[in-house]
Amino acid sequence: MKPFNPLAGNPLATRDDFAKACISLLDPLIPSLTLGYSAVKLGETGTRYDETAAQIEGYARPLWALAALLAGGYKWEGTQKFVEGLGNGTDPEHEEYWGVALDTDQRMVEMCPIGFTLAVAGDHFWDGLNERQRANVAEYFDITDREMPNTNWLWFRVFANLGLSKNGYKYDHDRMEKDMNHLDTFYRGEGWSNDGPRDYTQMDYYSGSFAIQYLQLLYAKIAGDVDPVRAEKFKERARLYALDFVHYFHEDGRAIAFGRSLTYKFAMVGFWAAVAFANVELPAPLTWGVVKGLLLRNLRWWSKQPAAFTPSGTLTIGYTYPNQFMSDNYNSPGSPYWAMLSFAPLAVPADHPFWTSPEESFPSLSIPPTVSLKHPGHIVTRLGGHTFLLSSKQQCHYPLRAADAKYGKFAYSSAFAYSVSTGSYSLWSSAPDSTLSVTYGDDAEWRTRKKCDTDSIEVIEGTPVLVSTWAPLEGVNIRTWLIPPAEETPNWHIRVHHISTARPVKTAEGSFTVSNERRGDNRELEVYSEGEDGRFGSVSEAFAVSRSGAVGIVDAGKTSRVGETMNMDSNSNLLLNRTVCPLLLGAIEKEAWYITLVYALPAEEREEDWRKTWVNGYKERPKIPPWVENIVPH
């Protein structure tokens, strides 16, 4: 059976369109509700937590959207089932009781959308419960003494209490204050909060759309009447953050694929949804029309990704297609419904300027094409037909599947998604795209950058440059400079590496990847022929061109690296299930300097346009900056 995308064909232009999209995503869940309506079972894959908690996710996460839908005056025929499910799931005497939340229990995460629902749609959910059921909910939400991870999780306890407080029920005000005061210690400045302790830099979508900024804005709206000072502080942080966060989106609506939990899909635009919900006017050029466009264009892009859904119309674990390799060990079949938080604007009335303002395009003329962002350690650019970032600061502060791929690569793009390792004893399975891989020998593992020992953004001859030191293997020390594109050669960025090693190593440096399917018969790419899809590798360079675009890599230094195009392991890439990666392969005895040119041009809807221009762009190589010539020995 073919996938069924419920968003397909929806113009997503008006408030009613948005409501229809919301309902179209809720409807396919009904057949998977349990008999007591307290859980939704969408699949058989497992997680690090128990199956009951996994099915609670399937119940609770759609509430992000259902609550906003109801708060906005819309109706949905499945609402009463979810109300009954809340009563049954929190009833210790019911056979579908969710069970007591223990320390670091996933159940506490799901209290966040439930708390939001009680706060904004209490006339349906709280009023729909009798006194005993309300007491059960309050008892279930009593997690004051539970141990929680030192991350955004603390917000979930805040929202459990917030839901009770908005309905006049007893809650733990002191615990809320302690949690929010501690969450404030994550704040770094200019709107940015770290997702965790100060010793690490983890500023991904959890810093914004998935959790911290999003929940700060929801809190500001819901509790602004009783906590006005903190509410205004959160709004001001959003105004600052928005001026940076807008750079992570491309004109076509896509967001840069970076970090963990990308199975949450269109939750990536949750920040813009929360801006509308909280009625926060942003600085120029971020008008209401621009905010509206950022949100709706992203949803439209997802409406064109059929494999992001199952044949029954439910969301899949994966990014644009079902993919367990890229998933995290906390992703259940219900996890992707965190995406539903992007429907928050349904809660604001039809006469709100978010809905009445004409949609505006991306403000390309009003913001610079390339910026350096000191807090996340990113240089972000829109040059070259896609939005991408260079990265040299971030790491996850706890064990995470494929952490090196999700945080340690040199570049992340809106058009060329990253790949994750499916194994480490072969190069093709170790995800060598957008990184420098190192191994001691044929029988040893390939290692890439997982964390930086030092990192900085330096302005050299007027250009921001990311500088980092890192050690993929014991005795192997690398200093890397990442240089963004110049306007004269917008499709190229430059990498410089100084490698010193205590023993001989082999290296492999990769560009972005493209589809390994050619036009027409979808067969594997063959040797490039002018005007056709294909691949090419020779001394010092390699490139590939296919239906998803053109990518390449060139050795511009004095080393003798060999170019090769390698088939990546199937399903290792977030965006495409069959990919090929141009690589430069080398060997080092003791020391080497690498100067690498990386090319990328994404495909466009008008295929004849980009296919005519990519060759000329590839042939026109960027100039090596004089400062690079000066530091590299001749």
The CATH number linked to 382 is 2.70.98
Do residue 285 and residue 413 come from a single domain? no
Residues 347 and 395 in one domain: no
Q: Specify the CATH number for the domain of residue 333.
A: 1.50.10.10
Within 8 A by CB and 6+ apart from 37, the residues are 59, 81, 82, 84, 85, 88
* Residues listed for the chain: 634
Query: Of the candidates 322, 356, 390, which is a domain's last residue?
Result: 356
Residue 604's pLDDT is 82
Residue 463 lies inside a defined structural domain of this protein: yes
Task: Clarify whether residues 259 and 305 are in a common domain.
Answer: yes
* Domain annotation covers residue 437: yes
Residue 341 sits in the same domain as residue 396: no
| Burial label, 379 (beta-carbon count in 10 A; 0-12, 13-18, 19+) | buried
The answer to the question of residue 68 being in a domain is yes
Residue 10 DSSP SS3: coil
Non-local (6+) Cβ contacts of 612 within 8 A are: none
Q: What is the DSSP string of 468-497?
A: EEEEEETTEEEEEEEEPPBTTBTTEEEEEE
Establish if 30 belongs to a structural domain: yes
With H, G, I as helix, E, B as strand and everything else as coil, classify residue 589: coil
Q: Tokens 């006005």 map to which residue?
A: 228
Q: What is the mean pLDDT of each successive set of 10 residues along the chain, which is 634 residues long?
A: 91 99 99 98 97 98 99 99 99 98 98 99 98 98 96 98 97 97 97 90 96 99 98 99 99 98 99 99 99 99 98 98 97 99 99 99 97 98 97 89 96 98 90 97 87 96 98 97 98 98 97 95 94 94 97 95 98 98 98 98 79 91 97 90
Which residues, including other chains, have CB under 8 Å from residue 79's CB and lie 6 or more apart?
66, 70, 124
Domain boundary among 298, 327, 356: 356
pTM above 0.95, yes or no: yes
Asked if 344 and 397 sit in the same domain, the reply is no
Distance from chain centroid for Cα 270: 11
- The domain tally of the chain equals 2
How far from 302 is each of 273, 297, 320, 377, 603, CA to CA, in Å? 16, 9, 8, 28, 17
Residue 42 sits in the same domain as residue 149: yes
- Which spans in 353-495 are helix H? 353-356, 403-407
Cβ atoms within 10 Å, residue 428 = 19
The alpha carbon of residue 510 and the mean position of all alpha carbons in its chain are separated, in whole angstroms, by 22
Q: Which residue has the tokens 């983890």?
A: 202
Question: Do residues 31 and 129 both lie within one domain?
Answer: yes
Please tell me the predicted confidence (pLDDT) of residue 607.
65
Q: Is the domain of 330 the same as that of 429?
A: no
The answer to the question of residue 517 being in a domain is yes
Which pLDDT value is given to residue 606? 64
Contact 25, 63 (CB under 8 A): no
Residue at which a domain ends, from 323, 356, 389: 356
Q: Which helix (H) or strand (E) holds 583?
A: strand 579-588
Can you list the pairs that 463-469 forms with residues at least 24 positions away whose Cβ atoms lie under 8 Å? Answer: 463/625, 464/370, 464/372, 464/379, 465/379, 466/377, 466/379, 466/390, 466/391, 466/392, 466/393, 467/392, 468/392, 468/393
* Residue 9 in domain: no
Statement to judge: residues 305 and 342 lie in one domain = yes
Tell me, yes or no, whether 6 lies in a domain. Answer: no
The DSSP code sequence of 603-624 is --SSHHHHHHHHHHHHHSPPPP
Q: Under a CB-based contact definition with an 8 Å cutoff, are residues 453 and 440 in contact?
A: no
Q: Please spell the DSSP secondary structure of 178-206, one letter per residue.
A: HHHHHHHTTEEETTEE-SS-TTS---SGG
CA atoms of 271 and 264, how far apart (whole Å): 13
> What type of residue sits at position 542?
A
Distance CA 318, CA 308 (A): 7
Based on the fold, state whether residues 145 and 209 are members of the same structural domain: yes
Report if residue 288 sits inside a domain. Answer: yes
* Same-domain pairing of 50 and 89: yes
Do both 342 and 448 map to the same domain? no
Dihedral of CA atoms 60, 64, 70, 73 in degrees, nearest 10, equals: -170
Give the residue numbers spanning the domain of 418: 370-625
